[in-house]
Amino acid sequence: MADVVVQALDLAARVDEALAVQALAFGLSEDEVAIRRPIVLRHLTAPGARALGALTPAGHLVGFIYGLPNDRGQWWSTVVEPYLRRAGHDAWLDGAFTITELHVHPGYQRHGIGARLITTLTDAAAEPRSILSAVDTDSPARALYHRLGYRDLARGVLFPSAPSPYAVMGAPLPLRRLHAAAG
């Protein structure tokens, strides 16, 4: 998938296209997509929020990522902080760039696009580390994060209305580089 280009993305302008990718990659219903749309748009107004897209030569969005410098006052931080504190890792909430969403269209997964998106985004971060949350299963996404240098900081994290527990993961920046195209 070398013809897929990772570049800056005006996510607000392409939010519906991005959410369609997320719906396919994450199995979201139309109702869940409708709930996420204003959340994504609100996140993009936060200081330091940045987004990248993975685009085909025809300009089709096949993956996206966005994140922002972590702020302990953000909803996500308030949910994960007690879990991180119990695990002795709440300091990770300071000086961290949070990966908010990373999704790749299923037809383009396992070709290194996710790794290119996350490393390109975090390479531009001023923060010394990155944090994220992922469904707490042995998934290809979690395997990718581990290969890039993320480690589990807290597991069994319960988000309101989420059907499954999550793991909070953290990595020092810059992230490891992968030599194989799996990711």
pLDDT of the residue at 183: 45
Q: Is the per-residue pLDDT at 98 higher than 90? A: yes
Burial degree of 167 (CB within 10 A; 0-12, 13-18, 19+): buried
Per-state percent for the chain, helix, strand, coil, to nearest 5? 35, 25, 40
DSSP for 143-181 reads HHHHHTT-EEEEEEE--TT-SS-EEEEEEESSPPPPSSS
pLDDT band at 68 (very low <50, low <70, confident <90, very high): very high
User: Between the CA of residue 181 and those of 2, 56, 133, 157, what are the distances in Å?
Assistant: 10, 17, 23, 30
Please count the other Cβ atoms lying within 10 Å of the Cβ belonging to residue 91: 13
pLDDT of the residue at 180: 52
Please give the share of the chain, as a percent, with pLDDT higher than 70.
Answer: 97
What integer is the mean pLDDT of 126-139? 97
Q: Is the per-residue pLDDT at 181 higher than 60? A: no
Write out pLDDT tens, residues 156-171. Answer: 999 998 999 999 999 9
Please count the other Cβ atoms lying within 10 Å of the Cβ belonging to residue 162: 12
Q: Tokens 């990155």 identify what position?
A: 130
Query: What does pTM read for this prediction?
Result: 0.95
The answer to whether 143 and 122 are in contact (CB under 8 A) is no
Task: Give dist(CA 136, CA 116) in Å, integer.
Answer: 23
- Omega within 30 of 0 (cis) for the link into 174: yes
Write out pLDDT tens, residues 32-64. Answer: 999 999 999 999 999 999 999 999 999 999 999
